[in-house]
Amino acid sequence: MSKGQETKARIIRQAAEVFNQQGYAGSSISDIMRVTGLQKGGIYNHFQSKDELALQAFDYAIACVSQRTRAVLRNKRHAVERLKAMIDVSRSYLDNPPIKGGCPLLNTAVESDDAYPVLRDRTQQAMNSWRQLICHIIDNGIKKGEIQPKAESDEIATIIIVTLEGAMMMSKLYGDEIHMQRVINHLYKYLESNL
């Protein structure tokens, strides 16, 4: 990797944390300059705009999330065990987020819904990937006889995601992991009784 590529990667990594903690609207180029130690020209040498940097920083953050998810799924074979492992990954975001500031998908989805259509579209793509992964696990589980054939994969994916993201929001809001623990207990029972 060239020095320029290393600098660009460092800017993306550091900007991802700033955007995830302060939000896109709440982060200025001055904030990025402060954390990177670069001047405005040094940043704009690698990115045409704050928007371009935000998209690449979001992609980096989602790659960190995906990497963590793939790591926990690697050793799990049974479909329900794989779903529980994904649920446990979300729990880890409270103590050990993939990017400082918590779940980048939740944070960006909330902020980008009306004000930043390009960032919203990118967030939808990331959400679609998560939903598709859950559906794939469930559909494969049905084929292998590990999950009941009547299971509706897209419905279950929605329930899992919405429940986890809501628990993440409440746990962060109240500074109390009890909300996430309650949701995990509920989801485990839901998976065991419905799948």
Q: What is the pLDDT of residue 194?
A: 86
Mean pLDDT for all residues in the chain? 94
| The overall pTM is greater than 0.85 | yes
Q: What is the pLDDT of residue 134?
A: 97
Q: What is the pLDDT of residue 82?
A: 97
pLDDT digits over 82-126, tens only? Answer: 999 999 999 888 889 899 988 999 999 988 877 788 999 999 999
Work out the percent of the chain whose per-residue pLDDT is above 90: 84
Q: What is the pLDDT of residue 74?
A: 94
Place of tokens 């779940």: 103
pLDDT digits over 137-185, tens only? Answer: 999 999 999 999 999 999 999 999 999 999 999 999 999 999 999 999 9
Angstrom CA distances, 155 to 35, 121, 138, 151, 175, stand at 41, 22, 11, 8, 30
pLDDT digits over 25-78, tens only? Answer: 999 999 999 999 999 999 999 999 999 999 999 999 999 999 999 999 999 999
User: Residue 155's CB: how many other CB atoms inside 10 A?
Assistant: 12
Q: What is the pLDDT of residue 4?
A: 85
SS3 50: helix
Instruction: Looking at 39-177, list the stretches that DSSP marks H as alpha helix, in order from N- to C-terminal side.
Output: 40-44, 50-73, 79-95, 104-115, 117-143, 153-174
- Render the burial of 1-34: b for 16+ CB within 10 Å, e for the rest: eeeeeebbeebbbbbbbbbbbeebeebebebbbe
Q: What is the pLDDT of residue 114?
A: 77
